[in-house]
Amino acid sequence: MGRLLRNILLDFAQFEREMTADRTRDKMQQRASKGMWNGGNVPYGYLNQDKRLVPNPVETERVRFMFQRYAQDPSSGRLRQELYRLGWYPRSGQYWGKMTLGYILSNPIYCGRVQFNGQLHKGEHEPLVDEALYFKVRSLQPERTRVTTRMERVFLLKGLLRCSKCESVMTPHYTQKRRRDGSVSRIAYYRCTKTMHKSTHVCTIKHLNANEIERVVVQHVMELCQNSGLVNMTIEELNRDQKEKLKPLEQEAIRLRARLDELGREIDRFVRALGQGTISVKRLEQEMRQREKDREALQVQYDHVQRTMQEQAGRDYDAEVILQNLQDFQKIYHALAPQEQVEVLRCLVRDIVVHPDKLLLNIFELAPGSQKRIDWLPGQDSNLRPAGYKCPSFSTGLGLSLHPPAEKAGEGVGR
């Protein structure tokens, strides 16, 4: 009976939800057929007054300018540059995005139409552009097609590169050029995500050649594996940090041990008092019961602290073992499959900050299982290298090999 009643109530609740959804869709269809706006985000160029769209005096001229300029020069990139030059920005105050401009130029609401369920209805609001201009702009916009071609290449630094200028992740991308024989040449590179979605003006670094940046990073990681001075300095610092972490535990263990000894002495005093006849058996049982309870709780805490200290003490890092593991990494890295190389780099490198004239590698601690720790090594910049260490120079130079020729940056690679 209970299950039957529950199923009946659930069926009625589902029926009511579906009826509510149908009534809502019917109401919105009726409003659209009458030319009324169904709500949502207020389109750029309009204001919401009593659930009706009225032109925005400031934004109206900008919308008309967008349509007229695109009809003359059908390029969204040049249109965005012109909007920046005029100082016209969206309501968010950020840069115009490609999708935002595409949505404005393809929205039929600006020619006085209301769209619902794939159908256009004449709207009751004031249009901002003529229908002829709107449909001309729509015809000039490229059709959205799904790209079926893709570059069969594994990007080793995907998710690791971060731009220092616009603070965005650098996304794998590629360009393609057609050779004289008709074949297509594709060049892989990493590009700032903000420049892809907004404008090339938001960042000065823009993009990096994928082959060159991957070669430089892998070469630096391998040099780090052979740098015994840097590894020894790192191991000493890690062991020193481990000892610092043990001090509070040692103090806590001393305090708990002292309290346990004190409870033992109190129990002995009560036993002697019973032999002397100064305390009753009932009182002794009460005191012993309470003391035993406290001692068991303290013993649990003391054992936990001791186990933690033993675990911390067992984490001392051996520089020789770590160096041997790193040397083994250098031997087997090139024998790994590309996807395995990606996993190996993610276990060693937290992220790579790209500056105009250097790369900043933030690495994990050089120890087994260190990728699971929350403490990071600082970026190994020039002022953090051990004494006597010299960064090797490369004849290609970062500015010539990683950046396009028109955007030459300073030479040299920083760690």
Structure tokens, 169: 């992740």
Decide if 254 is inside a domain: yes
Residues 66, 119, single domain; the answer is: yes
Structure tokens, 44: 């750029």
Residues 243, 282, single domain; the answer is: yes
Give the model's pLDDT for residue 328: 67
The predicted-structure confidence for 79-95, as pLDDT tens digits, reads as follows 888 888 888 888 888 77
Residues 324, 297, single domain; the answer is: no
Give the model's pLDDT for residue 399: 31
Decide if 5 is inside a domain: no
Give the model's pLDDT for residue 150: 59
- Counting every residue written for the chain, the total comes to 415
Residues 264, 122, single domain; the answer is: no
Residues 225, 337, single domain; the answer is: yes
Of 15-19, 73-77, 353-357, the one with minimum mean pLDDT is 353-357
Give the model's pLDDT for residue 197: 66
Q: What's phi and psi for 28, nearest 5 deg?
A: -65, -35
Listed residues 313, 336, 365: the one ending a domain: 313
Share of the chain above pLDDT 70, in %: 76
Residues 65, 127, single domain; the answer is: yes
Q: Which domain covers residue 70, as residue numbers? A: 35-140
Query: What number of helices (H) and strands (E) belong to the chain?
Result: 12, 10
Mean of pLDDT over the chain: 76
The predicted-structure confidence for 334-359, as pLDDT tens digits, reads as follows 778 888 888 877 877 778 888 877 77
Whether 208 and 189 have beta carbons less than 8 Å apart is answered as yes
Q: Is the pLDDT of residue 122 over 80?
A: yes
The predicted-structure confidence for 205-231, as pLDDT tens digits, reads as follows 777 888 888 888 888 877 777 766 766
Whether 166 and 194 have beta carbons less than 8 Å apart is answered as yes
